[in-house]
A and B are shown apart, each in its own frame.
Chain A
Amino acid sequence: MNLAQILDHLKSLPKIRRNMTDWRVIPAREASYAEFPLPLNPRLKGALREMGIEELYTHQAEAVELLFQGKNVAVVTPTASGKTLCYNLPVLNCLFDDRNSRAIYIFPTKALSQDQVSELQDLISILGEEIRTFTYDGDTPPSARRAIRTAGQIVVTNPDMLHKAILPHHTKWLKLFENLRYVVIDEMHNYRGVFGSHLANIIRRLKRICKFYGSTPQFVLSSATIANPQELAQRIIEQEVELVDNNGAPTGKKHFLLYNPPMVNKALGIRRSSLAEARNFASLLLENGVQTIVFARSRLRVEVLLTYLKEAMTRAKKSPHLVRGYRGGYLPLQRREIEKGLRQGEVLGVVSTNALELGIDIGQLDACVIAGYPGSVSSTWQQAGRAGRRTNVSLAILVATSSPLDQYLINHPGYFFGQSPEAGIVDPNNLVILTSHLKCAAFEIPFEDGENYGLDNTSDILSYLEQNRVLHHAGNKWHWMSDSYPAEEISLRTASPGNFVILDAKDRSRVIGECDYFSAPMLIHQGAIYLHESLAYQIRELDWEGRKAYAEEAKVDYYTDANLKTNIQVLDVFKKQDKGGIGLFQGEVNVTTLVTMYKKIKLHTHENVGWGKVSLPEQSMHTTSFWLEFGKSALEELKLSPENFSTGLKGLSNLLGKIVPLFIISDPRDIRSVPMVRSPFSQLPTVYIYDNYPGGVGFSEKIYNIAGQLLQACLELVQSCPCKEGCPSCVGPPLEVGDMAKENTLALIKEAIGKL
């Protein structure tokens, strides 16, 4: 069977049709072209023609023209639409005009940058011009670094290298900063939340250094589809940005299937395993020789699926080597080989984590099976975009797991296929992030009196740093005065300060894993069972001051669940609205958490088999929060017993905690939701959703603005869940939440929606 026949076959099967919640056919798109922009160097035009490019796609031409006009540009088009040409053309054109000019390309990961460099090199080799393009990252040999610093015309790097190695040594990069014309930020949608807030500050530092050397580079950003590309780009570079999203690249017809595995146990809300279902689809495709990519959410799931599919190939009397795995942890050479095999068609199938979601060049495949919702609509489109030839038909199948997020999505195709509502949020002025970069900036070039960095009252922070003896004011400048390297103290990618390391209790130099500061009391208290790569360790000792935990491998049949007491104190209210007894708020809070005990819970049966005490200091965190309050009149209308009300509040909190990350593209750990039957702020029942990062990262403001939409989503999720009293796919299991969890939660949601 070919792909078209497989599609017909699937359509004919009732058991498949029954579980398809949607079967969309996205029609083919014709290409729309535009002529080469006039100022483009004739030799570049010649090289493009040599590559078979007679005209540009409309979005490419528009981006190039805007850049020629001196504007900053954000290009937002799908995978494989020729985004890189949008910035490669103006950059190369500029290098033709002035051999001294320079450009920096910033990619979020190392693998990605290598790939883009090889594409750029191809274009350069056709041009026959010597344009020195170098990758500068952790793997760059020291011997090559000096040459790159002085001679590299295009320097390809990542935010970490820019932050730690380039900016703090800018005098060695004199030529680059004096002549910097373009800064390219690819895959911008990766820079959201904490990582994005860090990047925005790195760009502030970069611009400050450019100013010192007298250059004013233009910025080009590119992104997968998100709701607010222009806003995000402008927040990151803090300058006006023109949006280019008139995609002119052609695509073939695409079938997009949403599949919900059938229910096995209705009462408990358990469905068939998404892995098994994904395997069935993938092996059908692979056995018929359809080139397929399968995405799984974790490394472990990748390995499991890979094993299944290799077995399936053997049963079908085909070589199991036609199917490969791909994930972090594979060696670079091995990865390159698989990528090449996919491009050339020698590899028929690949099972991958989201490592292949980014723009690594593997060509276009025929089909894509996504085992479990990847966590955001834009990721799902990125992954699905891996299948889709320019002319032929292609297929993407999303197989849902039983998590609430998956269940919401699979049952709301309209939401999924509509305009992506996710927005990238960054807060470059988060006080903790800003201050840590302010230190780096002062290290790079002394601050002058009256100079502002992000905030108007920069001098306030500078004098604070002087009191802390890291800066020193002399003359009219603030000088770095510490024998330390401030960039080393910042981790761009992890959310919390002062991580804990988990060490082997026997061999105290062996690191087992890491745990962020705020999760430490819950996960690595003394006696806790810590799971890592499916091995169980028991924490023997937690050295709170030294940020270390010592663990020993343990053969146990239980896991631990710490009991966290949370208290939230409202410090300041920034925004509020009261609608007939339902109050919405956003403001500043102090969250204190204390772990006092933990439960031992038997694996599989989930019986409570014991408990232990924990004595750890109380933790507090100053952050921003959204909260929803049920006023007296709402309580009177609801007429619920205190017990039922409490159950409903817990259910609502569970729902919100799971739904919110979908709407604000954040990691589920970036926010926390807490129900309080009697909030100390108002003495009223309240659900708090706070930013799980000191100082807040801007999530709560967004949540406040879309609260109605969020409640509507909760309502739809609960109503469409076939379970009786509540299950992990919706409000949570009744054993945990309370009796009649579903009914009580629904009552609360309806009351709130009715008022808003």
Chain B
Amino acid sequence: MKLSEKLQEIERQIGLPKPQKEPSSHKQELLGIPGQVKSVELGQFFLRETSFPLDHPCGEDQLGALLEHSATSLRLLCSDQRIAELDFRKAVFLDVETTGLVGGTGTYAFLVGVGGFDSSGFSIRQYFMRDFDEEMAMLSGLNDFLSPFTSLITYNGKRFDLPLLDTRYHLCRLGLSLKDPIHLDLLYPTRRLWSRRLPDCSLATVEKEIIKVIRKVDIPGWLIPSAYFRYITSAEQAYLPHIFEHNIQDILTLVALAHKACQAVESPLSAGVEYPHDLYSLGRIYDRARDYSQSSHWYDQALNPQLSPDLKVDLLWRLSLACKRTGRWQKAVSLWDEMVASSDSLLPWVELAKYYEHVAKDITSARKMVKEALSRLEICLCTRDSEGRQEKELLHRLSRLNRKVAGGSEPGELP
């Protein structure tokens, strides 16, 4: 029995599907896709170029709208501070279509779309391998194009597109020419700005809810690998134009999304950020940047009956801290007073104690707050480590307060 027959027999017995018909492999002319076959030293690949004017619409806006912004405003939304140096006119927008969503070395990028602004507007180049043996040529062609760029804009490119390309270049024994670019991965700003409002942060959701793009005929992302396989094995080209269009739209969406993100921090209210969740998110963003007057401003704005109760508790706490940090003590104390009456948390007690001790210099009240906090700890039976630590801290604070009283460093106070 031939090895393959034996295998087939064993696999039939353990219930695996029967093999299908003989595959075919040939590089054919691509029908209905404008573009040309390019030849480089390492072989051939297919390249499609498409241009759009600056007033080309994308959702509610036009492509050119992005050029009105400077990336400086995105510093608030990114951890990489080099982002301020990014020039939207000179950045490359990148999105890949792959043979799988599972990752690992067996996943190929069969179509790489790259876009950028130029004298005529916005141009997109799509590098495509008509069969697996064109990968090396395609990657080398892409390298030639990418080498002058120093900045990159993607969606989830840090975790997906870039590592995947890196792997592909390694496996072809080439090196990606784009070395340590300034990388604006729009997934992270998106999460900071809108994750509390959106059901998820997939590009499709963001496109629909934030950019308001409506795709007419679109192939869903998860179908793309099998559509490509179908083209490879049966020369069935029907899906190919849709994959190319899908990729183009993804790149246009990147442009529009970058614009929306800039707008959301530059002029939030005009950007239609009327949702309380988004305003709360703005507060968080400014908290992170330690700009507490801004953060307390947005927290105030976000206080709205539509806000979910959980978020509201969190918001008030953060607002109180922002007030404390900007010296608005009266407001802070009134918030804490409100909290001790309505929640189980010990934190407002501690904050009040600190306030009375260090700001109001009212040791008696400070001691009262610490004792209140300690009595609450007893009620909830200290079981967790964090509570054990809290208890220690409180006791430490109490003994210091007692010492202050006994040492008479605060005249006029009685024990």
Q: Please give the number of chain B residues whose Cβ is less than 8 angstroms from any Cβ of chain A in the complex.
A: 39
| Bound complex: CA A469 to CA B14 (Å) | 18
Chain B residues within an 8 Å CB radius of A174 = 170
| Bound complex: CA A435 to CA B16 (Å) | 13
Beta-carbon contact of B132 and A477 below 8 Å: yes
Beta-carbon contact of B4 and A473 below 8 Å: no
- Check if B276 is an interface residue, CB within 8 A of chain A: no
- Check if A327 is an interface residue, CB within 8 A of chain B: no
Beyond A444-B105, A479-B132, A694-B14, 10 additional pairs, beta carbon < 8 A:
A171-B170, A171-B171, A443-B105, A466-B23, A473-B25, A474-B131, A479-B108, A480-B99, A619-B13, A621-B13
| Chain B, residue nearest A462 (CB) | B4
- Check if A464 is an interface residue, CB within 8 A of chain B: yes
- Which residue of B19, B105, B132, B163 is within 8 Å of A170 (Cβ)? B105
* A-B contacts at CB below 8 angstroms, number: 120
What would 9 A/B residue contacts be, using CB atoms closer than 8 Å?
A: A168-B104, A172-B163, A443-B106, A472-B132, A476-B133, A497-B14, A517-B14, A571-B1, A622-B10
- Check if B314 is an interface residue, CB within 8 A of chain A: no
- Check if B7 is an interface residue, CB within 8 A of chain A: yes
Beta-carbon contact of B7 and A467 below 8 Å: no
- Check if B375 is an interface residue, CB within 8 A of chain A: no
Chain A residues within an 8 Å CB radius of B102 = 483-485
A171, A445, A483, A694, most chain B CB atoms within 10 A: A483
- Which residue of B4, B171, B225 is within 8 Å of A460 (Cβ)? B4
| Chain B, residue nearest A620 (CB) | B13
Beta-carbon contact of A474 and B229 below 8 Å: no
Beta-carbon contact of A169 and B105 below 8 Å: yes
Chain B residues within an 8 Å CB radius of A431 = 3, 6-7, 10
Chain A residues within an 8 Å CB radius of B385 = none
Chain B residues within an 8 Å CB radius of A622 = 6, 9-10, 13
Beta-carbon contact of A481 and B132 below 8 Å: yes
Beta-carbon contact of B233 and A472 below 8 Å: yes
Chain B residues within an 8 Å CB radius of A171 = 105, 166-167, 170-171
Beta-carbon contact of B104 and A477 below 8 Å: no
- Check if A491 is an interface residue, CB within 8 A of chain B: no
Chain A residues within an 8 Å CB radius of B163 = 172
Distance in angstroms from A549 CB to nearest chain B CB is: 16
Distance in angstroms from B41 CB to nearest chain A CB is: 15
| Chain B, residue nearest A467 (CB) | B19
Beta-carbon contact of B20 and A480 below 8 Å: no
Give the contacts of B1-54 with A (CB-CB under 8 A).
Answer: 1-4, 6-10, 13-15, 19-20, 22-23, 25
- Check if A640 is an interface residue, CB within 8 A of chain B: no
Beta-carbon contact of B20 and A481 below 8 Å: no
- Check if B226 is an interface residue, CB within 8 A of chain A: yes
- Check if B271 is an interface residue, CB within 8 A of chain A: no
- Check if A482 is an interface residue, CB within 8 A of chain B: yes
- Check if A457 is an interface residue, CB within 8 A of chain B: yes
Chain A residues within an 8 Å CB radius of B10 = 431-432, 622, 694-695
Beta-carbon contact of A498 and B15 below 8 Å: yes
- Check if A463 is an interface residue, CB within 8 A of chain B: yes
Lowest 8 CB-CB distances: which A-B pairs, in order? A475-B133, A443-B106, A480-B106, A464-B4, A483-B100, A483-B225, A474-B132, A171-B167
- Check if A614 is an interface residue, CB within 8 A of chain B: no
Beta-carbon contact of A483 and B101 below 8 Å: yes
Chain B residues within an 8 Å CB radius of A435 = 7
| Chain B, residue nearest A432 (CB) | B10
Distance in angstroms from A469 CB to nearest chain B CB is: 6
| Bound complex: CA A619 to CA B10 (Å) | 11
| Chain B, residue nearest A517 (CB) | B14
Beta-carbon contact of B3 and A457 below 8 Å: yes
